[in-house]
């Protein structure tokens, strides 16, 4: 399937009318919903107004307004930029992955982990590098510490044990021999 000029125009028209990607895909035939979404993004049509207006004329108006505005002659005359206000609903990015109403996956309880391993972990976590997700590398311990929904959440960050994603202390908690786990269940 290729995007001919006629198909692209029909896509633009239907998108501007507020039709869904699925409806457009059915109308065009031989194309999936995802292909329609991809083409919409490549064409820059993704920001649809509620009234069905296309965003292209607004872009042209912005370009004309920028061209008509006089440029400041010195750096001191440049207008001060004010950061955009943060949306109040940013907390939705930090909600747990498990959907509401669903049980959490099984977690190892404190009595399943040896006391030595727990003592070692609590001591190691006092000396953790406390790194963010963006600072993780293949050489840093990826053990999460704290609640991801809070600002004090971090990853251990200590050097990893070779071939494992965690430091020595966290490997002791995460990877337990089968026989000891099996014996504790009995």
- The pLDDT profile of the chain, 186 residues, written as one tens digit per residue, is 688 999 999 999 999 899 999 999 999 988 999 999 999 998 888 666 554 444 445 555 555 555 555 555 555 555 556 665 555 544 444 445 556 666 655 555 545 666 777 777 778 888 888 899 999 999 999 999 888 888 888 999 999 989 899 998 888 888 777 665 555 555
Are 181 and 159 spatial neighbours (Cβ–Cβ below 8 Å)? Answer: no
The bridge status of strand 144-145 relative to strand 154-155 is antiparallel
Q: By the 8 A CB rule, do 158 and 106 touch?
A: no
- 22 alpha carbon, distance to own chain's centre: 25
Strand partners of residue 159: 140
pLDDT at 81: 61
Q: What are phi and psi of 154, to 5 degrees?
A: -155, 175
Does residue 46 contact residue 40 with C-beta atoms inside 8 Å?
Answer: yes
Whole-prediction pTM: 0.37
Cα separation values, 18 from 36, 73, 133, Å: 13, 44, 38
The pLDDT score that the predictor gives to residue 170 is: 87
């Amino acid at each position: 399937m290729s995007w001919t000029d006629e198909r692209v125009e029909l896509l633009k028209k239907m998108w501007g009318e507020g039709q869904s990607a699925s409806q457009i895909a059915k109308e065009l035939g031989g194309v999936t919903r995802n292909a329609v979404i991809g083409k919409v993004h490549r064409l820059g049509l993704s920001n649809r107004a509620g009234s069905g207006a296309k965003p292209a004329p607004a872009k042209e108006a912005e370009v004309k307004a920028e061209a008509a505005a006089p440029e400041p002659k010195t750096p001191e005359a440049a207008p001060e930029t004010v950061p955009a206000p943060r949306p109040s609903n940013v907390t939705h990015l930090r909600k747990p992955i498990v959907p509401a109403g669903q049980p959490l996956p099984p977690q190892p309880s404190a009595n399943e982990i040896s006391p030595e391993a727990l003592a070692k972990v609590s001591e190691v976590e006092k000396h953790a590098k406390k790194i963010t997700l963006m600072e993780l590398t293949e050489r840093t311990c990826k053990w999460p510490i704290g609640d991801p929904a809070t600002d004090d959440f971090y990853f251990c960050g200590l050097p990893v044990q070779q071939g494992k994603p965690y430091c020595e202390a966290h490997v002791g908690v995460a990877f337990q021999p089968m026989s000891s786990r099996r014996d504790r269940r009995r």
